[in-house]
Chain A
Amino acid sequence: KQEVTQIPAALSVPEGENLVLNCSFTDSAIYNLQWFRQDPGKGLTSLLLIQSSQREQTSGRLNASLDKSSGRSTLYIAASQPGDSATYLCAVRKGDYKLSFGAGTTVTVRA
């Protein structure tokens, strides 16, 4: 059974600082890994999808790396802004269609 862990559970940083969010998973035989953003009371917005053959993906200020062999992914958010405050979820997909989610990291960026 795939277990996904996200550390830390919560993070508070001043505006402008870089954010580093960690995700680890127990079964390295994955198809892909997705990072999502969830705002309070809202749905999930997909940020980045990394295929199993890739080592990283970038979109604007966001960069996600994947080390499949060690079961780890890291999401970097450069020059954080108050608008980045949200919960960030990591989800991995094995050979079937199910996503296994971590519990998330709640980020607060202080102005």
Chain B
Amino acid sequence: NAGVMQNPRHLVRRRGQEARLRCSPMKGHSHVYWYRQLPEEGLKFMVYLQKENIIDESGMPKERFSAEFPKEGPSILRIQQVVRGDSAAYFCASSPSTGENTEAFFGQGTRLTVV
């Protein structure tokens, strides 16, 4: 059972370009979460999705950021018109449920650099 797969591992974008980050959850996991780790800061929750539904996007910036988890295929975190402040490590996690004893499993992350 492969773990949470994220790609690309590293992404360089010029200011104003779009960044697309992909996440394939562990097999059997229908709950996906995105977190952002800014330099020298802890991980911060961005968004929680189930198949075809955004459940909670309270941690995501209101503009330029969007996320989806289609019926088929990976979850996508999309950042439009990137700015230098978007440079960070973006981590995806998945879980089989949201029960009290549920453990979250994290991917290797995508490190976005905006130049």
Q: Which residues of A contact B (CB under 8 A)?
A: 4, 31-32, 34, 36, 41-46, 49, 51-52, 89, 91, 96-104
CB distance from A22 to the nearest CB of B (A): 15
B108:A43 contact, CB within 8 angstroms: yes
Distance of A32 Cα from B104 Cα, bound (Å): 11
Q: Determine if B42 is an interface residue (Cβ-Cβ < 8 Å).
A: yes
Distance of A49 Cα from B115 Cα, bound (Å): 38
B101:A101 contact, CB within 8 angstroms: no
Q: Determine if B45 is an interface residue (Cβ-Cβ < 8 Å).
A: yes
A43:B100 contact, CB within 8 angstroms: no
B106:A36 contact, CB within 8 angstroms: yes
Closest 5 CB pairs of A and B: A43-B108, A44-B106, A101-B42, A101-B43, A103-B42
Closest to B98 in A: A97
B103:A49 contact, CB within 8 angstroms: yes
**If A98-B48, A99-B104 touch, does A43 touch B109 (CB 8 Å cutoff)?**
yes
A43:B107 contact, CB within 8 angstroms: yes
| 10 more A-B residue pairs beyond the given contacts A42-B109, A97-B48, with a C-beta to C-beta distance below 8 A | A4-B42, A31-B100, A43-B107, A44-B91, A46-B103, A51-B101, A98-B33, A99-B93, A101-B35, A101-B44
Q: Determine if B72 is an interface residue (Cβ-Cβ < 8 Å).
A: no
Distance of A103 Cα from B93 Cα, bound (Å): 18
A52:B43 contact, CB within 8 angstroms: no
Closest to B108 in A: A43
CB distance from B71 to the nearest CB of A (A): 21
Distance of A99 Cα from B102 Cα, bound (Å): 12
Closest to A49 in B: B103
A41:B103 contact, CB within 8 angstroms: no
Chain A residues with Cβ below 8 Å from B35 are 99, 101
B91:A98 contact, CB within 8 angstroms: no
Chain B residues with Cβ below 8 Å from A34 are 103-104
B100:A52 contact, CB within 8 angstroms: yes
CB distance from A15 to the nearest CB of B (A): 27
**If A42-B108, A97-B31 touch, does A32 touch B91 (CB 8 Å cutoff)?**
no
**If A31-B100, A32-B100, A46-B105 touch, does A41 touch B48 (CB 8 Å cutoff)?**
no
